[in-house]
Structure 1
Amino acid sequence: MKKTIINNVKILFTTLISILLLYSCTEEFDYGKSENAVKTLEFSDVLQTTAMVSGKVITDNGASLSSRGICYSINNNPTISGTKTPDTQSTLGSFTCALINLAPSTTYFARAYATNGYGTAYGNEISFTTQAATIPIISSTTAVGFITQTTAVAGGTITNSGASNVTSRGVCFSKTNTIPTITDTKTNDGTGIGQYSSSLTNLTPNTLYYIRAYATNGVGTAYGDVKSFTTTSATIPVVSITTTATFITQTTAISGGNVTSESGATVTSRGVCWSNTTTSPTILNSKTVDGTGLGTFTSSLTGLSANTTYYVRAYATNSVGTAYGPAISVRTLSATIPTGVTTNTISSITQTTATSGGNISNDGGASVTSRGVCWSNITSSPTITNSKTVDGSGIGSFTSSLSGLTANTTYYVRAYATNSAGTSYGSVISFTTLSATIPTGISTTSISSISQNTASSGGTITGDGGASITSHGVCWSSSTSSPTIFNSTTDNGSGIGSFTSSLTGLTANTTYYVRAYSTNSVGTAYGNTISFITLPNLSVGQSYQGGIIAYIFVSGDSGYIAGQTHGLIATTSNQSAGAQWGCSGTSITGTSTTLGTGLANTSAIIGSCSTTTIAAALCNNLSSGGYTDWYLPSYTDLTKLYLNQTTIGGFSAVSYWSSSQASSTTAYSINFSTGTGNSSSSKSALMYVRAIRKF
């Protein structure tokens, strides 16, 4: 029985072994499902973007490992299909892997893993959190070098980005802020960590600056140490060349230069200067101004003299001073007679005048001292030895007025221009003046100074019609409204212009017709007709010119003119019924008693006496009948008024003052009741006043 049990056990064992052997031949072993084959140990040295994680492979279950390492993720249960860091070896035992490119302030899950031909086994899961990002770390600000007036070179070194990309780096600098920041002036010299160089520009010469490196990431800006430096002092600019002269003529040339450095101060003016007397011209000589700043420029030299050697230098000026380029020499071409002379078409042709002119495009290198047109009716090639105009100097266009021509005549005209080299001419143009006509532009002057027997007129003549005016004047008639030279005339000379004519032998109170005339070889032309009426014959007692005629001058009287009527006019009423003569105690020098001296007497009295109520002042200040030239009559003037007082009218039978002084305290008066003259009337007495004027 016992033997049977043993045999049965043997058979069962043999069957199990057979089953195991059969299974091993038909299905591989799954290493990945092995428990405790791999163990995740610990993490260490966790920073913003890196960490160290260790693991251990305990068994490979009889199959060699192909890989081991750490896989990790921000999610649980990371696998090798995600992010992983393989170890350098593939053996059993402990190992440590460095995890990189992590995100700051982030929780990561990690597991050790091992892989062989049967699969991948994972260790237990651990977690850790990376440190927060910081501003970058700058080890130093590079010492400043290559210092000029306006530039310098610096830089910095960034050793760590602070776990956030450096998006901007450079140096910031200031001449007022001893600890500059990026709110001051700064450079921008790329991104990332490492060493970099910065170029500082637009600095102020001879100035202390403070500088430090900076680096900016997503967290903020970090700065390096502060350094300082002083820019060099500004100097005059650098002018490297004076451009060789080209396009040389008698009076112009082209040059220029190149300003290669402003030397710390802005170039405010640049150009070329030149002289024909010194080999080292300056800006105190002739110069151009061709902009500002650096670079090449072109200059146009003008106003040069022909056949002359000039010395030229480029220049540039800044606040420090003026620098010059090397001097070059240029010789202008020799002068020639003017060129490009053209003659204008003839216009405004009359019997005696015409208009032409010309244009001069080049003076030949010597100033045009005279220009105009010359003409002749004899030669078809007139020169300046013939008739000519002189219409200024220089080049350009001009207008010429030809005068003194003969009517119905052919003339040849050409422009000319003269300089020191000679005279050149334009093309010849011919024209024929108009045929002569009777004079033109005749007007008759308004009639004036009309009396009973005379009057004044005249006329103006603007054109002689191309033939000399041999006679001009006025003609008049009382019987026809279109008088001619066959009626009464004056002859007031010849030629055009204005003239005055005196009409005489007229009849009083008669209508006359007058017009100016002008006669040349073609005939006689007339102006417009003007009519007037001579004055009627005048008599004492007649109302006339603001008053009443008191006396008419006769031959021998002062103021008498033969053939004309003149005399004295009295006001229509008295100017006062009781006025003093005035100036008692004062002797008035120069008064007279004779006819016609009343005006002079009145002026003398007013000059010595300022009282406005005295007899002379009342007459002198009078405005009556439209006239203001009234005065106190002399003793003889007053006598004429007394003799004609009834005809004149308006007088009283009382004494009237004259303007004739008897002594320093007395003056002459006449009693119009008795006709008695009194030379001893006191100047303080009150008497009547009657003013007169002359006509």
Structure 2
Amino acid sequence: MKILLRTFVAVTACCMFGLVGCSKDEPSSGDINDKPGDYGQLGGNLITIGSTRDVDYTSCVVLGTVDFPKITSDHTYGVVYMEALTTPDFDYDAKLLYQGHSNKTDKEQYDCVDAAIMSSSADGKFEKQLVGLKPNTVYYYRAYVSIGRNVNYSKVEMFTTKDPTPEITMTTTDASDIYAVAGTMNGVVNVGNLSDVNEDQEYGFVYSSAPQLNSPDKLTYEYYEQWLMNHFETEEDFDGPEEVTTTTNLNGRISIPLRHLRPGQTYYYRTFFKWNDKYFYSPEVKTLTTKGKGEISVGTNKATDIDATSAMLNGTVPFSNIGLETVTGGFLISNVYSNASEFTHENAVRWEDRRWSPNADVYFVSSPVTERDFSYRITGLSPLTTYHVVAYISLGTYEEGDDEVEEFVYGPVQQFVTTDEDIFTGSLEVYSEGNYPWMQIQNGVWKSGNTGISGSQSSLYINVS
């Protein structure tokens, strides 16, 4: 199964269709040929648009006539068109221009797409098929003739591509397999005979954690794009929708697991079908709320194998509530702090960097954790010192406004004491030989067996390692 993740950026696509004249969706750099308002107007009506035919989901044939007898120099001609914008009084007569595009003063972002015509009949009549259009979308169009910097236009007309919604059935169902940083979104996307069309089609889920996008009328890219263009009047700010797509469709049912969600966060989601950059959405929006950090119980176990300068630190983590197979885990250690509230990463220093921060109150060590029980052998401790330890895991880093925040889950506090560096830590073997050997009368107490006996022989041996 192929899964693609994308974050929406509100930029109008610049579609070439293998033709000429598609301009950048940016303010002009100063070249006069990039400025749609700098073209002069030719006198007379040199080109006209007649009608359209064969209007389909993503294509349309436009008909027109160019008046060749009145054109006496090199020229280009074709059709210029654009998707209808949401502004009700948008001036298509003034802005639907050859190489036209939005500028800093326009609230609407738009590009006028140029489709050149390479041949015509002897009487100047032509047909031009516009392809790669969005389904169920209104387009405004006109014909043009360009001679140098002078352009002649026909009047503006409009057409609407065919609506595929009668073929589409979409629903969004409840989420499943919900963990602290993962969950599965479920839904149904049936597109009927449209699935056999060899064009740009995708389906999946669009989702957001922003409460401002919690309803069907707002959880759309179109709503967010309009909000971006007008929100400067307020201080409100929130991230736009994201989407996840899949190529696996089992009788219309789709299920996509998401990883690296934020713990304790509510997400709003719905199914979508996208065709040539046109989105169709399910009528309902569902919610997915991940498990909170309080539902993950990290354990700090007692340290083992303690000597004067090292110890084995031990912890546990319940992977069953997390939703990941690997997390970053470790331990916070301090010979100053003892309260659980003091053990955080805000002021912690890596144990490896203690030479540069010898007076830090808390240090940390970390490593990948893949099993419920995890350990870390820490060295470089001080003899005869009491240390307090807290096990922890990281659930990931998340954006919070302009900052990045890492989510940690901490265990309880445990303590241990390192030994004296001169303490005996080896093995001791005691035994006796001879005709009257020494006898061990109790643990650690030996008594000679040859006291007052002539000719007795006995030896007491002590092997130390």
TM-score by length of 1: 0.24
Which of structures 1 and 2 has the larger relative contact order (alpha carbons within 8 angstroms, sep 6+)? Answer: 2
Larger radius of gyration: 1
